[in-house]
Chains A and B, each alone.
Chain A
C-alpha cells in the first residue's frame, strides 16, 4: 500500500521514490489532483483561425473539441453526446458549423448548443419533455488564453490563468511573442512512448546536466556544438511562477549580436526588440543568456535551439512546443509542434522547420536519445527493488541543505542559478506536491434534466 504523504515528503527533500515514474496508484491520484486542477494546454489559437475550425485534444482520458464558433469565440467542449455518450466528433481536425452524433443524430452547433434532436416533439414531447434551450455539450469548467495558448482547467475554482502562470508569462513571451501577430503552430507530430509523463517535463525544466552526454552525438557530427559540457555549464537555470527552464550563455553583451549569432535575421530582431520588455533585452543582451528548454506545470514544455541546417554551415534557430499527455502511469503521448512567427520571412520558416525536424519530434536527433532514457527509467522503476530506492535529485544542494552556489543576480523575473543543478526539477516537483496534497472534492454530476 502506497503512503502518499511519505512519497511527498521524500520528493520535497529531493529524494524521488523511483516508483513515481510507474506506480498506477500514484497516477490515479495525479489524474484527479494534478490533471483535475491545473491549467492544461490544449491548442494554440493559430490552429483554429476561422469560425468553424476545430481540433480534438485530450486531457488524460477526456476528449475535448477545441473550436472557434461562428462568433469567433474559442470553445472547449467535452466530446460526448448528452444522450448516450457517443463521441460527437471523431476526426481530429476540420471545419464545421455543427457536430452531429453518429448514433442518434443529436446535433450541436459549434458553440456547443443542442440544436437538433430527431422526433423531438413525437418522442420527447418537445421542450416540455427534453429541454434543448440552454442545453449543450459540456464546456470545460474553465477556459482562458495567454499568448494564443488555449488552456482549460477541470476545476471551476482554479485561480485565474494569469495568477497560475505568474512570472512564467515573461518566458512565454520570449518563446511566443516575436511580433504583434504572434506565431503559427504546425503539427503536431504525435507519438506514444512507454515513459511516465513527468520525466520529460522534469528534463525540459532544468536538466542541462544530461545534455553533454545524452546528446553527445549531435556535437560529434557538428550539428549543434553548444551542447558540450563546458558551454552548457555556463548557462543559467531560471524558475518563475509555474515553470522553469534553461539557458545558454552567449558570446556578447549585445542583444542584436546575440540574436544574429544564433541565426535570427534583422527583420525578426527588429520586431522582437520592439515587442519585448526591457528585461528581455537585458537577459539576452547585457546578461547574455538565451533560453533553451523550459517546462510549465504540469506537462507543457518548450525548446529553442540553433543547429546548423545545411552544408554551407547556416545556423538557424527553431522553437518547439510539446505536451507530455499521460496515457497511463507508464505511457505518454507526445504532441510536438513546430512554432514560427507568422511574420518571419519564408526562407527563415523553411530553414527553421528543417532545424526542428532534424533535432526534435519523432525523428529528431536530440529527441530520439531522450526517449531512450525515459522509456528505460520507466521500465526499470516497476520492480520491487525500485520500490526501495529514492533517486537522488539533489544536485546543487549539500547534504545539510545549504546550496552549492548562491542564486545569481538575474535581470529577468524569477530566481536563477548558474551551472549545473537540479533546482528547477525540485521546484517543479514541489508544485506537483502542492497539487498532490489537495483534498479530493465531491463534484456534483451535471444533468440536462434540471
Chain B
C-alpha cells in the first residue's frame, strides 16, 4: 500500500493545522537527534507502519525506481519497539557510542486525510550522521510521506513511507531512525 496524495485537498502553510504538522515533525526530529527513543515511540499509533523500500536504477523513469518486495525498513509496532529496546541495552554496539545526528526537515507540504482526524504530509529529510573520530560523516537524503492521526488532541504518526535517494546506501547501517 502506498499513500496517495493526488486529488487531495492541500493545506496552505498559513493554515493552523499545517502549523501543527510542522510542530510535530520538528519535535520528532529533536527527539531522534537527542536519542530520546522511548519518547519517540509515544508519538506512534498502535497500528504504525514504517517502510523504506530499496531504490534501484532503472531506465527512463523514476516511477518504478523502488523495489516492490524489498525494503530497508518494513516495521510495525512490535519491531520498532524491539529496535528501541535494543538501543536501550548495554550491547547495541552499532550505536554505542551513539552517532551524532542532525535531521533537517524541509519542503513540508500537507493534505487533508480520509477522515477529519487524519492529515498527510510530505517532507524532505537530510540526516547528518557522524560516528567516532575517524571516518567522514554520512549524509542520508530522503523524501518522507507520512499519515498523521489526531488521537485525543495530539498528532501521532500512523504510517511513514521513506524514499531514500541512494540505491546503494553509503552509511554502514540503518541503526538510526529516518
Contacts and interface: CB of A to CB of B under 8 A. Distances in A.
Contacts, number: 122
A357 B69 CA distance: 12
Contact of A371 (B57, B86, B92, B94): B94
B44 to A, nearest CB: 15
A373 B57 contact: no
Nearest to B95: A368
Nearest to A379: B134
Interface string B52-64: 0010111100000
A172 B115 CA distance: 51
B169 interface: yes
Interface in A384-423: none
Contacts of B89: 216-217, 220-221
- Interface residues of A: mostly helix, strand, loop or mixed? mixed
A189 B167 contact: no
A362 B164 CA distance: 13
A324 interface: no
B153 to A, nearest CB: 27
B82 A368 contact: no
B168 A221 contact: no
B174 A363 contact: yes
B135 interface: yes
Given A217-B89, A217-B91, A310-B78, A375 B70 contact: no
B94 A363 contact: no
Given A365-B86, A372-B93, A191 B173 contact: yes
Given A190-B168, A191-B171, A221-B86, A357 B74 contact: yes
B109 interface: no
Contacts of A289: none
B107 interface: no
A365 B172 contact: no
A354 to B, nearest CB: 7
Interface in A327-382: 333, 338, 353-354, 357-358, 361-365, 367-369, 371-373, 375, 379
Given A358-B82, A369-B93, A379-B134, A353 B74 contact: yes
Given A186-B70, A365-B82, A373 B93 contact: yes
Contacts of B54: 187-190
A91 B57 contact: yes
Given A311-B78, A365-B86, A186 B69 contact: yes
A61 B40 CA distance: 42
Interface string B65-105: 00101111111011100110110011111110000000000
Interface residues of A, number: 46
B172 A189 contact: no
Nearest to B79: A358
A140 interface: no
A92 B70 contact: no
B126 interface: no
A221 B85 contact: yes
Contacts of B93: 214, 217, 368-369, 372-373
A302 B59 CA distance: 31
Contact of A91 (B58, B71, B85): B58
Contacts of A188: 54, 70
Nearest to A327: B168
A320 B90 CA distance: 27
B175 interface: yes
B66 to A, nearest CB: 11
B79 A338 contact: no
Contacts of B67: 186-187
Interface in A205-223: 213-218, 220-221, 223
B9 interface: no
Nearest to A89: B59
A22 to B, nearest CB: 12
A78 B7 CA distance: 46
Given A91-B59, A190-B167, A375-B172, A365 B72 contact: no
B170 interface: yes
B33 to A, nearest CB: 19
Nearest to B74: A357
A363 B70 contact: no
A194 B170 CA distance: 9
A367 B94 CA distance: 9
A363 B85 contact: no
A354 B74 CA distance: 7
Given A190-B168, A194-B135, A216-B91, A363 B72 contact: yes
B172 A191 contact: yes
A193 interface: yes
A420 B91 CA distance: 21
Contacts of B135: 194, 375, 379
B107 to A, nearest CB: 25
A90 B58 CA distance: 8
Contact of A192 (B77, B78, B86, B169): B169
Contacts of B86: 217-218, 220-221, 223, 365
A192 B170 contact: yes
Interface of B: 54, 56-59, 67, 69-75, 77-79, 82-83, 85-86, 89-95, 134-135, 167-175
9 A-B pairs with the lowest CB-CB distances in the bound complex, closest first:
A368-B94, A216-B91, A363-B174, A191-B169, A217-B91, A187-B70, A368-B173, A220-B89, A190-B168
